Amino acid sequence: MSLEVQTTCPYCGVGCGVIASIDDVGSVSVKGDPAHPSNYSRLCSKGAALADTIGMDGRVLYPVVNGEEYSWQHALDYSAQMLNMIIDEHGADSVAFYVSGQLMTEDYYVANKLMKGFIGTANIDTNSRLCMSSAVAGYKRAFGSDTVPCSYEDLERAKLIVLTGSNTAWCHPVLYQRIVQAFTCCFWTVFTWVKESNFAGSKHRPALNLHN
């Protein structure tokens, strides 16, 4: 008898619900959670392949320094020694952190404390800011605030969607699937506008062209 566990995909900010199933021999399979409000059972290719990432084959289970395995204590001491050597020779601004976008708030706090308070430099950035910087600029110019102006449900209820220079199927696959499903059951007109100024759409019948 298999055991099912409700969890969340760790990859992006959509936070899709996932159901992981573990059978009697320990094999794991995943599927989208039909009750989760973000994806309603839909998954992108990364989420659908989550079960392929949990095996032990090919994983580095212990710290490796110069091609040799060492204890965690040795690896941490070595890293601290190298950082201190670089800072002593070139100054604190010679060190920079580029931090994952998947950390929790408390982890970001610790990373910033280490970089700004202990090492003494402001050279820290995250994928979270880099990924969203263009969106933040657009939100502020359009709406006066760094606030997401709508929800997924709003897009599903819309009568017209204008996509500018976006390949939604590739960049936002779960949202794209929700748009397509809403399109198939409703009378929609969808325009796409890309750099070449090609337009797709019709006033007389529904049109969906997200790849122009």
H or E, element range at 193: strand 189-193
What is the number of H-type helices and E-type strands within the chain?
7, 10
> Helix H segments across 11-151?
45-48, 72-90, 105-112, 127-143
Is 202 a residue whose pLDDT tops 50? no
142: pLDDT strictly greater than 70: yes
Task: Tell me: pLDDT of 159 over 70.
Answer: yes
Triad 91, 92, 93: Cα angle to 5°? 95
How many Cα atoms within 13 Å fall on the side-chain side of residue 122?
0
pTM for the whole structure:
0.62
Does residue 120 surpass a pLDDT of 90?
A: yes
Query: What are the extents of the domains in the chain?
Result: 3-53, 64-127, 150-200
Tokens 């100054």 map to which residue?
Answer: 91
- SS3 state of residue 170: helix
How far is residue 191's CA from residue 159's CA, in Å, rounded to a whole number?
11
**CATH 2.30.140.10 applies to domain 3-53:** no
**Cα torsion at 154, 157, 185, 159 (round to 10°)?**
-120
pLDDT (average), residues 125-154: 84
Decide if pLDDT at 198 tops 50.
no
pLDDT tens-digit readout, 56-112 = 888 888 999 989 999 999 999 999 999 999 999 999 999 999 998 778 889 999 999
Helices marked H in 95-212 — which ranges? 105-112, 127-143, 152-157, 168-171, 173-185
Asked if pLDDT for residue 210 goes beyond 50, the answer is no
Q: Using CA atoms, how far apart are residues 110 and 119, in angstroms rounded to an integer? A: 12
